[in-house]
């Protein structure tokens, strides 16, 4: 039986210091800050600094970016971040450049709709520290993630990769235990599933999500 203590939750799309503190108090292991203007959860560097400063040591502060240019990388270099999440079309060479430039661990998002989409993990595993397995956005979507969509979890059940992975896409307090049981993941990413409005986190939902994740982590993970 898996130890539920090793289930780690990332609360993404934080826009206010108070919400970040509430996420950490609820037990979040990661907090995510979005630097992508089309997202309703996007923030600027000054707000990011306020939020990051409110997060106690030991909680991983993640910047979510989409095909970042060098100017954005320079802006991020001045912030107290712990990890970069790449959610665009960055190829492995660009990933390596970003990792070298910022000197931070990289998590690469992989959009999934069908089994062949997971082939991308093998291409990125040599140059990243983690992968985020998320639902592919619907046609015409303006954002590569954060669309509150799930995908067929059987596609990742029993899968093992050379780097740690995190499950994202449409997770809520109501389905997180099932997600853990069906996929065997030990890391979860949630944003809209713990909000009362886009970018505004709900303290009770965050508490409920993490409590459900810990309870669900008592279910034997698929092997």
Catalytic residue among 3, 6, 12, 91: 12
Separation of alpha carbons 18 and 8, rounded Å: 21
Residue among 19, 134, 189, 208 flagged as catalytic: 134
12 in catalytic set: yes
Q: Is the dihedral of CA 32, 35, 39, 43 positive or negative?
A: positive
Are residues 38 and 65 in contact, defined by beta-carbon separation less than 8 angstroms?
Answer: no
From CA 51, how far away is CA 180, in angstroms rounded?
A: 29
Q: Which two tokens stand for residue 95?
A: 């990933």
Measured on CA atoms in the order 32, 104, 129, 155, is the torsion positive or negative?
A: positive
The residues assigned a catalytic role are: 12, 134
């Amino acid at each position: 039986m898996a130890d539920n203590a090793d289930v780690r939750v990332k609360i993404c799309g934080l826009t206010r210091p108070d919400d970040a503190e509430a996420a950490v108090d609820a037990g979040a292991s990661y907090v995510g800050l979005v630097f992508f203007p089309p997202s309703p959860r996007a923030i600027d560097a000054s707000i990011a600094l306020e939020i990051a400063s409110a997060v106690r040591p030991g909680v991983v502060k993640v910047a979510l970016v989409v095909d970042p240019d060098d100017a954005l990388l320079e802006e991020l270099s001045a912030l107290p971040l712990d990890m970069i999440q790449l959610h665009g079309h960055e190829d492995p060479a660009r990933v390596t450049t970003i990792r070298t430039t910022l000197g931070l661990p990289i998590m690469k998002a992989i959009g999934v709709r069908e089994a062949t989409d997971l082939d991308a993990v093998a291409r990125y595993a040599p140059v990243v520290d983690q992968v985020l397995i998320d639902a592919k956005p619907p046609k015409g979507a303006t954002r590569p993630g954060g669309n509150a969509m799930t995908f067929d979890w059987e596609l990742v059940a029993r899968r093992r990769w050379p780097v740690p992975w995190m499950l994202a896409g449409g997770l809520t307090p109501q389905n997180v235990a099932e997600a853990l049981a069906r996929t065997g993941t030990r890391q979860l990413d949630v944003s809209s599933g713990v909000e009362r409005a886009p970018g505004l986190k709900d303290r009770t939902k965050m508490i409920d999500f993490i409590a459900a994740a810990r309870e669900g982590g008592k279910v034997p993970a698929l092997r």
